[in-house]
Amino acid sequence: MKRKNGFRAFVLGFACCSLLMVFSASAFAADVFPNKPIRFIIPWPAGGAQDIAGRLVVQGLSERLGQQVIVENRGGDGGTIGFEVMTRSAPDGYTISIISDSHAFKPAFGEKLPFDPVKSFAPIGQLGRGWNVLAVHPSVPANNVKEFIALLKEKPGQLICAASGNASVSHMNSEMFKMKTGTDYKILQFQGGGPSLIDLLGGHSNFGFISLSAARTNAESGKLRLLAVMGSARSPLLPGVPIISEDNGPDVKVDNWWGLVAPTGTPQPIIDRISQALKETLDDPKTKETFLKAGCEAYYSGPQEVGERVVREIASWTEVVKAAGIKMGQ
């Protein structure tokens, strides 16, 4: 009996020491982190929205972490290649990446990925948000969302929506708007935002869900009429344009957003360290100004909020995909 009790005590003592060693190692890692440059994988080519948004915080992170943050563009397969590299990297905080609202699209379509879109990622924090705008050609007889929905219902299947490719942000927004309003219209797919915008400006398409930067420029010249912002809040760049849900429209609050992530297993103290540096960067007035000049807004939310958002948006877009009966690459 004494031997058994002694063995139990030994096992318990060993377990406690092991846990203490793990916590101590984690705390030590956070104390010395970072002691070398941080690799920032952007899973898209240079020049795109994700690349631009990610690079806006690089200098601030480098200054606040005391180590250089080095950008590495690893584009291909809609972000899959870069994400696979990131998720297979050591979970030590020295490899991070950027995700966006489109992170939910492939899972929503049921596409098989070489990683789990939720479990393989440790959220660090949201770094910004942008907006898509519901824009109509001036020939469309609607001056607000209420009139536009009435027009769609009056002419089912007759109006044409220009979208920048299957499973793009503009395409998914158009499918969601159709589902939420119970309307019917044609969605014309183009290879990219440029061709779809040209078609809309020419009056061949009647409306589209386009980026704020393209929308604002063309609205100022009278080439487009802006009815609403597809977001959870009005844009400071277009304060006079309401969000769809406040203009007699459906409860559609779809933000363009970007956030930082690390491989799952990265110690929480290190996640918190990077997240705090991100928050301080985004709170800097110079950073805020730089974001606005790029047509988006510096906006921070913590790791938990980002993680919950990803789960929520995968469920939401899955509902849209099923209702629309669409498939990836269709």
For residues 58 and 120, state if they share a domain.
Answer: yes
Q: What is the residue whose two structure tokens read 């250089």?
A: 68
pLDDT of amino acid 8: 55
pLDDT tens string for the chain (330 positions)?
Answer: 444 555 455 545 555 555 555 544 455 555 789 999 999 999 998 888 889 999 999 999 999 999 999 999 998 888 899 999 999 999 999 999 999 999 999 999 999 999 999 999 999 999 999 999 999 999 999 999 999 999 999 999 999 999 988 888 899 999 999 999 999 999 999 888 889 999 999 999 999 999 888 888 899 999 999 999 988 889 999 999 999 988 777 888 788 999 999 999 999 999 999 999 999 999 999 999 999 999 899 999 999 999 999 999 999 999 999 998 988 765
pLDDT of amino acid 82: 95
DSSP 71-125: EEE---GGGHHHHHHHHTS-SSSSEEEEEEGGGGHHHHTT---SS-TTTTEEEEE
Closest CA to 125 of 47, 64, 46, 36: 64
For residues 264 and 286, state if they share a domain.
Answer: yes
Would you say residue 7 lies in a domain? no
What's the token pair of residue 75? 């584009």
Q: How many CA atoms lie within 13 A of 289 on its CB side?
A: 3
Max Cα distance, the chain (Å): 91
What is the domain count for the chain? 2
Question: Which domain does 223 fall in, by range?
Answer: 132-254
Torsion angle (degrees, nearest 10) of CA 38, 44, 272, 92: -50
What's the token pair of residue 138? 């001036």
For residues 47 and 191, state if they share a domain.
Answer: no
For residues 121 and 159, state if they share a domain.
Answer: no
Closest CA to 202 of 142, 160, 170: 160
pLDDT of amino acid 11: 46
Q: Which of 210, 238, 254 is the last residue of a domain?
A: 254
In this structure, are residues 151 and 320 in contact, taking their beta carbons and an 8 Å threshold? no
For residues 247 and 140, state if they share a domain.
Answer: yes
What is the distance between the alpha carbons of residues 293 and 128, in angstroms, rounded to a whole number?
Answer: 13
Would you say residue 250 lies in a domain? yes
Closest CA to 52 of 211, 206, 209, 170: 211
Geometric angle at alpha carbon 306, from 86 and 214, rounded to 5°: 85
Geometric angle at alpha carbon 129, from 310 and 114, rounded to 5°: 35
**Beta-strand relationship, 38-42 and 69-73:** parallel
For residues 165 and 203, state if they share a domain.
Answer: yes
Would you say residue 1 lies in a domain? no
pLDDT of amino acid 182: 94
